[in-house]
Structure 1
Amino acid sequence: MNQFEFVQYESQPIEVEDPFQRLYDRNFEVQSFHEGITLVVTLVIVLGLWFSVAWSLPGKVGRKGVARWMWFGLLAFPYTMFFGLLVLTFSPWPVARGSKKETEELEKELESTKKQLEASQQRVERYTDYVTKANSVIEKLQAERMNHG
């Protein structure tokens, strides 16, 4: 017998059943009552989350009334969602416009506060100079009193 004897094996295909394959089958049938309930509950939860996000996004960026319903219509349906997200992302947001106004008002208030601070600092410097001069006069008077006294 030869030391390097070769044995050839033929491979046979193994059929593996994909558990999710039947979900994409057009002839899909619910096998049991529990499976049907699970499917309905899952569908309700997913659609509820989907619609709640589609409803809350326009509200977060400041859309109200009819505009919010329009954005909800664009975001709620899969075929228009991508386009709706792009337009929502790159269009000006009412919230941003409001924050720009608030920023301008705050900048004006900051400027007036800076001016008040500068005026207060100048007053403090004047008072410090006045107190320094007064102290030097007092020291001179005390020195004169000591010399005469």
Structure 2
Amino acid sequence: MKVVFASTPTQEERINELVQTFYSKIFPFYFSDKEINKFERLKVLAITPEKAQLLSTLKTSYQVIASLQTLVNILEDPENKCKYKHLFERNVQILEDLDIFFPFDLANFKIDVNGNSYNQANFSMYAEANNQYLL
């Protein structure tokens, strides 16, 4: 008999928050809205009910959380991200092993020689708002 610990609802919420971080903070910095829309259609980082079943153990949910957090931390520091290429690739592999679609290499997240990203000057409908107005 094998005892398996189930993931908690808090862990499932944290995974969803991290996926939303990619769509609202990471992807808009590097990609156009058209490309991000395509990522949604391709179900990049999507956690379907079938995948949620696979991630229902404590071990797998922690692996996903740790991998997503690591990727976010690497991509939020554009100047130093190349130092962590091996760590980036390792965490992408963990996601792939858990059947979470993340078809990116570190080279997909480019910045120019001035330190600007592809989409830094543009507005994105996916980006998190800096402020909110009540209408």
**Normalised TM-score (structure 1):** 0.29
Higher Cα radius of gyration: 1
Greater helix share, structure number: 1
